[in-house]
Structure 1
Amino acid sequence: MVRRLLVEDVLDGLRERIIAGEFPVDSPLPGELELVGQYEVSRVTVREAIKVLHAQGLVRAERGRGTFVNPMRRWTSLPAVVRALGAQGDPRQVSLDLLEMRRVLEGGAAELAAQRIGSEELTALARLLETMRGASAAADVEAFVRADLGFHAEILAASGNAFLPVLMEPLSAVLAAARAQTSAVPEIQAHAIEEHARILAALAGGDGAAARTAMDAHMQQTAEDLSRYIIA
């Protein structure tokens, strides 16, 4: 357990240094012994952390030369990509790119869910929507965000496709942080409640095309709200 925590510490430290640009693309990481000294851990711990960076595509090994940083297009860790784009890219574009991805995934999820959703899931969605309304009236942003995220998670699960929730899970922390920012704006809360009600109505009607359209409209409204209230 202790070594696993040490590995995580080294891994997080190196990943953050790569994201921050301390080690640019194609530059070498410090040697094993240097990293042992920097992090005050064993060589085995350093090797395990480097192994994870390899698995996530952040670095590559070049025989006889060392370990080098890969360009972001080769990274396979979604959280690392999101953090790097947030640190190095245009925050407005990052937010809009995330919405585009959600539009593709969640629109399809809503269409599938309309065909497969059961009464229990519909009841859960209705409760979450009421929670959003109550939280908005009480100016409880934290409760609003929890219900909002729960609403979307319920739809992903109701799609019946096991891959969709797994694909979205790495974004959970990013989405929660983004919702906390946007949901502090009363106008955005009002729009979200309206759009979620339309999505629920389409799901309850079993209309896949209408559910996809309603989810797409929600994402479009979110993009407009971001541009108007948050990243103008």
Structure 2
Amino acid sequence: MARKSLVAVVADDLLDRIVRGSIGIDEGLPSEAEIGDEHDVSRMTVREAMKTLQAQGVVRVESGKGSYVNPVAQWTSLDAVLRVAGAGASALDVAEQLIEVRRMFETGAAFLAATRRTDADLAALARHLDAMRAGHAVNDVAAFVTADLAFHDVILRASGNVFLGVLFEPLTRVMADRRTETSRVVAIQEHAIAEHDGILKALTRGDAEASRRAMDSHMDQTLADIRTYVHAAG
């Protein structure tokens, strides 16, 4: 794993303090000199760290006054929002909100893909579903998750809407981490295979409404599995 740069270390520490509430919303951050002394880094490094947080919408600079924390609604970094959401809400609440977002994106993508998919798209979906089955057979969670994510990516691309893939991309890394956690449960793997099979069959028929319903069913099953096997067990 690549070592974090000093800029990333400082930015991450400041974000962590904001997430924990040590630095509140609309509260001023320590001065560049204070942050530099605390981390034993130059002011240039601190400025670059502040620029990182500005680019994420986490902080704003008020001329002549200093840097202040923005309300979370103004943050533009998915990772930052997930961190603060995870700190202020239960893991189940965060999981449910992520599924709500997925449902909005993916049911629409399935609806569009049903009439726009190509034979090559269907072949790719079948390959990824076979890879999920193969991963499940030997309980290779990493292979299972990779194939699962790839299956959904094909549908997003097959929708023919260039904005869907771009808008959904930031969620992919988050989903990969969470899929790895949930897919360790064998029953969840089995349910996911069945749901993906239903989606593929609907897409193969070219039935847009059935494809939308199949994806919606998958979201319902995913949420039920998380409640039953992950959070109830925890």
Question: Within 5 A, what are the aligned runs for 1:162-173?
Answer: 162-173=162-173
1:110 Cα shift? 0.8
Asked if the contact 1:19–1:87 (Cα under 8 Å) also holds between the matched residues in 2, the reply is: yes
Name the structure 2 match of 1:81: 81
1:7 aligned to 2:7? yes
Distance 1:150 1:190 in 2: 17
Q: State how 1:149-188 maps to structure 2 within 5 Å.
A: 149-188=149-188
Cα distance in 1 between the residues matched to 2:213 and 2:45: 50
1:184 deviation in Å?
Answer: 1.2
For residue 25 of structure 1, report the CA deviation from its aligned partner: 1.4
Range with greater deviation from structure 2 (89-98 or 154-163): 154-163
Deviation at 1:188, TM superposition (A): 1.0
- Tell me, what secondary structure is at the counterpart of 2:28? coil
Alignment partners' CA distance in 2, 1:115 and 1:28: 53
Aligned pairs, number: 229
For the aligned residue pairs, the C-alpha RMSD in angstroms reads 1.6
Three-state SS of the structure 2 residue aligned to 1:60 is strand
Alignment match, 1:94: 94
* 1:38 positional shift: 2.3
Q: Bigger shift: 81-90 or 207-216?
A: 81-90
Q: In structure 1, the residue corresponding to 2:11 is in which secondary structure?
A: helix
Tell me the amino acid that sits aligned with residue 156 of structure 1: L
SS in 2 for 1:61: strand
**Take 2:135 and 2:17, find their aligned partners in 1: how far apart are those partners?**
39
Identity %: 52
Q: TM-score, normalised by structure 1?
A: 0.93
Distance in 2 between residues matched to 1:51 and 1:7, nearest whole Å: 10
Query: Aligned partners of 1:160, 1:38: CA distance in 2, in Å?
Result: 50
**Any idea what the Cα deviations from partners look like across 1:107-131, whole Å, max 9, x if unmatched?**
1111111121111111111011011
Deviations, residues 92-144 of structure 1 (Å, cap 9, x unaligned) = 11100100110000111111111211111111110110111111111111111
Q: Tell me the distance in 1 between the aligned counterparts of 2:153 and 2:16.
A: 29
Indicate the SS of the match to 1:44: helix
CA distance, structure 2, for counterparts of residue 202 and residue 223 of structure 1: 21
Distance 1:170 1:6 in 2: 24
Of 213-222 and 20-29, more deviation after overlay is shown by 20-29
List aligned pairs for 1:1-232, cutoff 5 A: 5-232=5-232
Q: Retained in 2: the 8 A contact 1:125–1:154?
A: yes
Determine if contact 1:199/1:211 at 8 Å carries over to the other structure.
yes
Deviation at 1:9, TM superposition (A): 2.9
One-letter amino acid of the counterpart of residue 99, structure 1? I
| Counterpart Cα distance in 2 of 1:81 and 1:142 | 26
TM-score of the two chains, using structure 2 as the length reference: 0.92
Tell me, which stretches of 5 or more residues in structure 2 are unaligned?
none
Contact 1:79 1:171 in 2 (8 A): no
